Amino acid sequence: MKDYFRNIYQAIVTILIGMGVTFRHLFVHAVTIQYPHVKRELPARSRQKLFVNIDDCIGCFQCARACPVDCIMIETVKAGKDEDLGETSNGQKKRLHVVKFDIDMAKCCYCADCVFPCPTECIYMTPDYEFATYDRNSLLLHFAKYSPEQVKALHERQEKEALAKAQAAKIKAAAGTKKPESET
Amino acid sequence: MNKSNLPPSRFELEVPNKLKTEEMTLSMGPQHPSTHGVLQIILKTDGEIIDSADPRIGYLHRCFEKHAENVTWHQVIPYTDRLDYIASMNNNLGYVIGLERMMKLEVNERAEHLRVIVAELNRIASHLIALGTYGLDIGAFTPFLYTFRDRERILDLFEEICGARLLYNYIWVGGVAYDALPGWRDKVLQFCDYFLPKIKEYNDLLTFNKIFIDRTANVGVIPAELAINYGMSGPGLRGSGVPYDLRKIDPYSIYDRFEFDICTGRGEMGTVGDCWDRYWVRVAEMYESVKIIRQACEAMPDGDAKETVPRNIKVPAGEYYMHTESPRGELGYYIISDGGKTANRIKVRSPAYSNLSILSSIAPGVMIADLVAIIGSLDIVLGEIDR
Amino acid sequence: MEPIIKVFFNFIPALADLPNWLAVTLIGVVLAVGTFLYIAVFTLFGVWLERKISAHMQDRLGPMEVGGWHGWAQTIADTIKLLIKEDIVPEKSDRFLYKFAPYVVFTAVMAAFAVIPWSKKFIPANLNVGLLYIISISSLGVIGILMGGWASNNKWSLYGAMRSAAQMVSYEIPVSLSLISVILITGTLDMQEIVYRQSGTLFSWNIFHYFPFAFLAFIIYFIASLAEANRTPFDLPEAESELVAGFHTEYSGMRWAFFMLSEYANMFVVSAISAVVFFGGWQAPFGFLNFIPGPIWFLGKALILVFVQMWIRWTLPRLRVDQLMYTAWKVLTPFSFALVLFIAFWKVL
């Protein structure tokens, strides 16, 4: 019997305490913000959209190798002998045409593992988080600055060079195979 | 398992005149508001009372262990984030310490302190979710929003230090990914000051509410022996009165330097090992975590937290089992290396998996509403169970 | 219905020329449509209010966009969305009962509006057994809920319906008993008469009679009426975290909206009954406040009670089925019996 009344008493008291808490909160300022109208300033380290400063890229593939989900696709073409591609901002010489630097943000897992290995610090994550689109293809970011024609030309040149090199190697090899014979 | 070992069911059915009743098979989940994700439970019920509960898992399987064999040692860390996505820091920590011990790597002091701080902050964040969703399961909506409000502050701290709010990829082999910015430590201390009075608010609103106590006390009692037999760990096991906390028993990182207590269930509101005890252990652990955070913040030396991060991770061939105390219990990584670039095998012993397995043995005889309370008190994360 | 008919005749003298049955029917239809419109508007307002109250209690803001000021048009937009939504009927359901159930629930609630006195003159039907009528009509709703839950052919719905039946039937008793203690005080079942008996100041309201017994009767009535209206902590029939959505799991679109309408109408009805029976209905608390019209007092009192219902909902967890029954049979019923006895004795003395 005592328990019975104590239970009722406790129920009433604890319910009133709880109601007091919620009532106090009626007059507390909301902690939420009205998102599209008010935007939080994200900290500088915030990991959202990837960005590549392609002018600084030397095409070393470090980021593509570091990526756990393979969302970075790079294609490079070697620069010609007398071509000068300039330097990166931290003074490294660029030796490769980065003809393709695509990042598929749909695949990206925002781990920022690609950011750290970059020798020229040209790939980094920005606090820009508003890049939702209606089309998944538009999440594929293209950073390379080469036009399709330029890429085609570069590829053709590379193939030509490779062909020439291969022929030279063949000749060299042919010459090389003869040489040992003459030595023996 | 012997039937006599089972806890006595609370509702013994007495059917007058041996009236034949039929049991109903009920599929609870995978789309159900209180299965905490994509858990399916096949229930056999007799009216409101459950005859058997059979958890079906696997709806969130993402091949973690297979992934881990195919990516490099470092690339596994973002995948560990996604195991227990509520406590990513603790997941990172277990894997990374395992690798460090295999590599015999000394870690920078500052990095160690930062690790402890973020891991304990993450523990608070995880327990806050557990508390809030538990209130939601029991039917109280408001505590959920309050806990999320405070969790948000922790996430803000994380965002400031590593840029991410959920999947941090912060703790790296040999250190941490980013050093703390100046002022971050003060913000953490400020958060501790802010947070402690809020726990009282949750207690007023939920913990000591009579209805809440009635719903959770004496419900889903797990005796210590049963809990140990099922390999439970974490707040689930401590709720049953077993003082088993890896931070004390097998200290890793620098936990042996800090003063804190192991919280265990004492059956204050009912029986030892009931849902309320498991809930209360989480509340009490938040106090302990705040204690640890304060000590770690005080003791944190200056320096470069990335000093000891190696450029290449070369793990010598061998095996190692590293277990750490994640918010859900003993999180184990069994790492096998053949000296190569990738792991030969990484097996994860996930605490929530073992904790969930006890469900089918304590569910018979409780009501549907109690089953919801039991699942909530086990605080499962399906991402970790299915991996 | 006499006073209200007279009011109509005064406004539209042409009505008096019609045959009596036609005039009465016409007036009845007008009143019914008016009540329906009122329920619809109240629900729109109530849902909005509940969202705002819950939001502010939870440190949020709630809807803020639609309509401008604090999202006042949010519920209107939601209604339009519900109206144009596809009416999905599960294939294996009992189609007729499934479609019919929401209207049964709604009718039962709406019927209760017939005897609620809004002001001195405005009471749709001035029955001399008004209170009895309300007690009996409000238990009809459970039939609709059972129909809906069973016809959905969904196990969760069935659970919700069964729980609802058990709950409503049990809580009828404390509701009736606590109202009986008021009947003992006032000595009448006539709603309008009950209000007249409380005229005077604040302290002549029933709630302050035989203190604290009438006050306790109000508390018991309020708790039990929460269960009648399926509100937290007694929202077991639709226990979201247990039964998905309880008896209306399968409902969508306008049929679901009818369940919602009846829930909010029910909230208003139980609050209105409390206001009438315990808080002096449309009477002003003090004589000098009489210049404010009766309906405003009545609405104000009812809305405060509606607010308390919402306040409780956003504070408390939910009971379990057996605890629900325990509360009804072992706490509320004995207490209300005791109250009836105490008040009866006091009255005799």
Q: For chain A, which residues make up each domain, given as ranges?
A: 49-161
- Which segments within chain C are labelled E, that is strand? none
> Helices (DSSP H) in C279-319: which residue ranges?
294-313
Amino acid at B105: L
Query: What pLDDT does A147 receive?
Result: 80
Q: pLDDT tens, C294-323?
A: 788 888 888 999 999 889 888 888 888 888
Best probe of the C interface among A4, A9, A19, A23, by most C CBs < 10 A, is A19
Q: Say how far apart CA A1 and CA A3 lie, in whole Å.
A: 5
Tens digit of each residue's pLDDT (9 = 90 or more) over B87-104: 888 998 989 998 888 888
Domain containing B149 — which CATH number?
1.10.645.10
CA of A18 to nearest chain C CA: how many angstroms apart?
6
Q: Is the pLDDT assigned to residue C342 strictly greater than 60?
A: yes
Residues of C in contact with B205 (CB under 8 A): 315
**Residue B6 reports pLDDT greater than 70:** no
pLDDT tens per residue, range B61-71:
888 888 888 88
Q: Using pLDDT thresholds of 50, 70 and 90, give the confidence band for residue C105.
A: confident
The nearest CA of chain A is from the CA of B210 a distance in Å of: 5
Q: Is residue B147 assigned to a domain?
A: yes
Residues of A within 8 A of C330 (CB-CB) are 4
Q: Is C289 on the interface with A (CB under 8 A)?
A: no
C318·B140 Cβ contact <8 A = yes
Q: What is the pTM for the complete model shown?
A: 0.87
Give contacts of C 269-298 with B, CB under 8 A: none
Task: Please tell me which residue, B29 or C176, carries the higher pLDDT value.
Answer: C176
Of chain B, the percentage scoring pLDDT greater than 90 comes to 6
Q: Residues of C with CB below 8 A from A3's CB? A: none
* Per-residue pLDDT reduced to its tens digit, C192-219: 888 888 877 777 787 777 778 888 888 8
Residues 6+ apart with CB under 8 A from B291: B258, B259, B260
Count CB atoms within 10 A of the CB of residue A66: 20
Q: What is the mean pLDDT of residues B36-61?
A: 86
Res B8: pLDDT:
46
Q: How many residues does chain A have?
A: 184
Helix (H, G, I), strand (E, B) or coil at B35: coil
Q: By the 8 A CB rule, do B346 and B335 touch?
A: yes
Find the range with the poorest average confidence among A82-96, A117-131, A159-173.
A82-96
**B-proximal residues of A, 104-123, CB under 8 Å:** 109-113, 116
pLDDT of residue B18: 62
In A3-22, the residues whose Cβ lies within 8 Å of chain B are 7, 10-11, 13-15, 17-18, 20-22
Q: Is some CB atom of chain B closer than 8 A to the CB atom of C233?
A: yes
Quick one: closest CA in B to C232, which residue? B139
Q: Is residue B17 part of a domain?
A: no
Q: Can you tell me the distance from the alpha carbon of C237 to that of C273, in angstroms, rounded to the nearest whole number? A: 23
Could you tell me the two tokens for C21?
Answer: 């049955």
**Rounded CA gap, B210 and A11, in Å?**
5
Residue A77 has pLDDT above 60, yes or no: yes
B206 — contact with chain C (CB < 8 Å)?
yes
Q: Residue C113, class by beta-carbon neighbours within 10 Å (0-12 exposed, 13-18 middle, 19+ buried)?
A: buried
* Cβ-defined contact of C315 to A22 (cutoff 8 Å): yes
Within its chain, how far is the Cα of C287 from the centroid? 28
Q: Which residue has the higher pLDDT, B346 or B13?
A: B346
State the Cα–Cα distance between residues C145 and C104, nearest whole angstrom.
Answer: 8
Chain B contact present for C57, CB below 8 A = yes
Mean pLDDT computed over C94-102: 87
Q: Is C326 on the interface with A (CB under 8 A)?
A: no
In C59-118, the residues whose Cβ lies within 8 Å of chain B are: 59-60
Strands B40-46 and B24-28: antiparallel
Q: In this complex, is the C-beta atom of C56 within 8 Å of any C-beta atom belonging to chain B?
A: no
B205 with A11: Cβ contact below 8 A? no
- DSSP 3-state helix, strand, coil percentages of chain C (rounded to 5)? 75, 0, 25
Contact between C62 and C71 (Cβ < 8 Å) = yes
Whether C159 and B215 lie within 8 Å, measured CB to CB: no
The closest of C106, C91, C46 to C257, measured between CA atoms, is: C106
Predicted local distance difference test score (pLDDT) of residue A179: 55
C314: contact with B, CB 8 A cutoff: yes
CB C273 within 8 A of CB C138: no
Most confident by average pLDDT, B11-25, B29-43, B194-208, B306-320: B194-208
Average pLDDT of chain C is 84
Q: For residue B16, what pLDDT band results from cuts at 50, 70 and 90?
A: low
Taking the C-alpha atoms of residue B343 and residue B345, their distance in angstroms, rounded to an integer, is 5
B227 neighbors B358 (Cβ within 8 angstroms):
yes
**Complex prediction ipTM:** 0.85
Q: How confident is the model at residue B15 (pLDDT cuts 50, 70, 90)?
A: low
Report the DSSP beta bridge partners of residue B335.
B320, B346
pLDDT confidence tier of residue B334, bands split at 50, 70 and 90:
very high
Inter-chain residue contact A45 with B75, CB threshold 8 Å: no
The three-state secondary structure class of B53 is: strand
Q: Is B368 on the interface with C (CB under 8 A)?
A: yes
* Domain count of the fold of chain B: 1
Cross-chain residue pair A32–C56, CB shorter than 8 Å: no
Using CB atoms, which chains have 3+ pairs under 8 A with C? A, B
If you count residue pairs, one on A and one on B, with CB atoms under 8 Å apart, how many are there?
A: 71
pLDDT in tens, B129-143: 999 899 888 888 888
Do residues C281 and C193 make contact, with C-beta atoms less than 8 angstroms apart?
Answer: no
Q: Is the pLDDT score of C276 beyond 60? A: yes
Is A176 a residue whose pLDDT tops 80?
A: no
Q: Establish if B13 touches chain C: CB-CB under 8 angstroms.
A: no
Share of chain B above pLDDT 70, in %: 95
The residue assigned the tokens 């060079």 is: A161
Span B243-273, pLDDT tens digits: 888 888 888 888 888 888 888 888 888 888 8
**Mutation site, A6, A25, A34, interface C, largest C CB count within 10 A:** A25
- Alpha-carbon distance B333 to B326, whole Å? 12
Residues of C in contact with A29 (CB under 8 A): 59
pLDDT (average), residues B40-52: 86
Write down how long chain C is. 349
pLDDT value at position B124?
92
Which residues, including other chains, have CB under 8 Å from residue C138's CB and lie 6 or more apart?
C108, C109, C112, C228, C266, C269
A111-131 pLDDT tens trace = 888 888 888 888 888 888 888
* Residues of chain C contacting B145 with CB distance shorter than 8 Å: 58-60
Does any domain span residue B145? yes
Give yes or no for residue A97 having a pLDDT over 50.
yes
Nearest to A23 among C60, C64, C311 (CB): C311
| CATH code linked to domain A49-161 | 3.30.70.3270
Considering chain C, what percentage of its residues have pLDDT values greater than 90? 0
In our burial notation (b when 16+ CB lie closer than 10 A, e otherwise), range C81-97 reads: ebeeeeeebbeebbeeb
Q: Which domain holds residue B208?
A: 27-385
The tally of CA atoms less than 13 A away on the side-chain side of residue C125 is 21
Domain ranges of chain C: 1-84, 89-348
pLDDT at B85 over 70: yes
**For residue B4, is pLDDT > 70?**
no
Q: Which residues contact C53 (CB under 8 A, 6 or more apart)?
A: A26, C307, C310, C311, C314
A95: Cβ contacts below 8 Å, ≥ 6 apart? A58, A59, A78, A79, A85
A85 falls in which pLDDT band (50, 70, 90)? confident
Of A15, A25, A111, the CB nearest to B169: A111
Which residue from B minimizes the CA distance to A125? B163
Nearest CB to A112 within list B142, B169, B204: B169
Q: Give chain B's mean pLDDT.
A: 85
The residue of chain C nearest to residue B24, with distances taken between CA atoms, is C155
Q: How far apart (Å, rounded) are the C-alpha atoms in residues A52 and B146?
A: 40
Q: CB distance B162–A45 less than 8 Å?
A: yes
Predicted confidence (pLDDT) at residue B235 exceeds the cutoff of 60: yes
B5 — pLDDT class (breaks 50, 70, 90):
very low
> What pLDDT is stored for residue A180 in this prediction?
54
Q: Which of B63, B64, B75, B168 to mutate to test the interface with A (most CBs of A within 10 A)?
A: B75
With 70 as the cut, is the pLDDT of residue C1 above it?
no
pLDDT at A184 over 70: no
pLDDT at B233 over 50: yes
Q: What would the 3-class secondary structure string for chain B be? A: CCHHHCCCCCCCCCCHHHCCCCCEEEEECCCCCCCCCCCEEEEEEECCEEEEEEEECCCCCCCHHHHHHHCECCCHHHHHHCCCCCCHHHHHHHHHHHHHHHHCCCCCHHHHHHHHHHHHHHHHHHHHHHHHHHHHHHCCCHHHHHHHHHHHHHHHHHHHHHCCCCCCCCEECCEECCCCCCCHHHHHHHHHHHHHHHHHHHHHHHHCCHHHHHHHCCCCCCCHHHHHHCCCCCHHHHHCCCCCCHHHHCCCCCHHHCCCCCCCCCCCCCCCCCHHHHHHHHHHHHHHHHHHHHHHHHHCCCCCCCCCCCCCCCCCCEEEEEEEEECCEEEEEEEEECCCCECCEEEEECHHHHHHHCHHHHCCCCEHHHHHHHHHHHCCCHHHHHC
Which of A76-90, B68-82, C130-144, C226-240 is predicted with the least confidence, judged by mean pLDDT?
A76-90
Q: What is the pLDDT of residue B127?
A: 92
Residues found in chain B: 387
Q: Tell me how far apart the alpha carbons of residues C149 and C160 are, in angstroms, rounded to a whole number.
A: 7
CA distances from B34 to B38, B353, C173, C212, C308 (A): 10, 17, 33, 42, 27
